[in-house]
A and B are shown apart, each in its own frame.
Chain A
Amino acid sequence: MTTTPYRPSTVESQRPLLELEDPAPVEARRALVPLAEAAGLQGTEADDLRSAVSEVVTNAVMYGEAPVRVTGWASPGQVVVTVSDCGRGPSETELGQAPLDREAGQGGLGLWMARQLCRELVMGTHDGGFTVRLVVAADSAR
């Protein structure tokens, strides 16, 4: 498991626009639409948000421990989403640092994809489990 402690960002103390418990990935993707709209993310930016969050939610559902909580905040040009579960996080070798065509196993591709699509992706463990935070920003806000 990863032993990096999770450090919440200041935005996480604000009231969220999105809160889901144990969503299927397809439900999480659909729930992101108003969040992207509130932030003014369009086209590829909104698609990238959808892809990145979907990958992380899929990992949490498949490899984490329920309940999985998805929480989202929107500000002009930027969306922050946290995906938490009650597990202990992936092992060091599953941390999504590797590209698709590596030989050993298939794990980690989703997280690797999510990293490519986000402005920021951080993760860590805490008392209640494991959290991934994703930040997707409009080009003008990068």
Chain B
Amino acid sequence: MALDDYLWIEVEADGTSSTVAVRGELDAGSAPHLGEAIAQAASTGAPIHLDLNEVGFIDSSGLRVVAEAVRLAKEDGRALQVTAMSDAVRRVFEVSGLVRQLPS
């Protein structure tokens, strides 16, 4: 089965912030890669913008990775913002209640 569009992550740093843009599906198989990408972006200390607008699917494993990244950023006093999310992602964030934990 061809899974070319399973997951694609791009990290862009412009000196003042890092943008982590994700496209594809975040599940137990792929979500750890997002965790690594966020950790890598966080190591620079710059604010992180997480763009989930092109994520067509997210499951509880993906939610945990985002929740953990938000928790760690808060703990370290770093800024991490989810700047965009698709309708499918928003639905899962709302059903899980995690939407309330996202920094506004």
Contact = CB atoms under 8 A, between A and B. Distances in A.
Interface residues of B, number: 22
Contacts of B59: 25, 51, 54-55, 58, 110, 113
Contacts of B27: 25-26, 54, 58
Nearest to A29: B57
A109 B63 contact: yes
Contacts of A1: none
A142 to B, nearest CB: 16
Nearest to B92: A51
Contacts of A24: 29
A106 B27 CA distance: 15
* Dominant SS among interface residues on chain B: helix
Given A55-B60, A110-B60, A25 B29 contact: yes
B8 interface: no
A110 B98 CA distance: 13
Interface string A76-105: 000000000000000000000001110000
A26 B29 contact: yes
Interface residues on A, range: 20 to 34
A3 interface: no
Contacts of B57: 29, 50-51, 54
A47 interface: yes
B55 to A, nearest CB: 12
A27 B92 contact: no
B88 interface: yes
B97 A106 contact: no
Contacts of A4: none
Contacts of B63: 100, 109
A30 B2 CA distance: 11
A47 B56 CA distance: 10
29 contacts: A25-B27, A25-B59, A26-B3, A26-B25, A26-B27, A26-B29, A27-B1, A29-B25, A29-B57, A30-B1, A47-B91, A50-B57, A51-B92, A55-B60, A58-B27, A58-B28, A58-B59, A99-B96, A99-B97, A100-B98, A101-B97, A109-B64, A109-B96, A110-B59, A110-B60, A110-B61, A113-B96, A116-B95, A117-B95
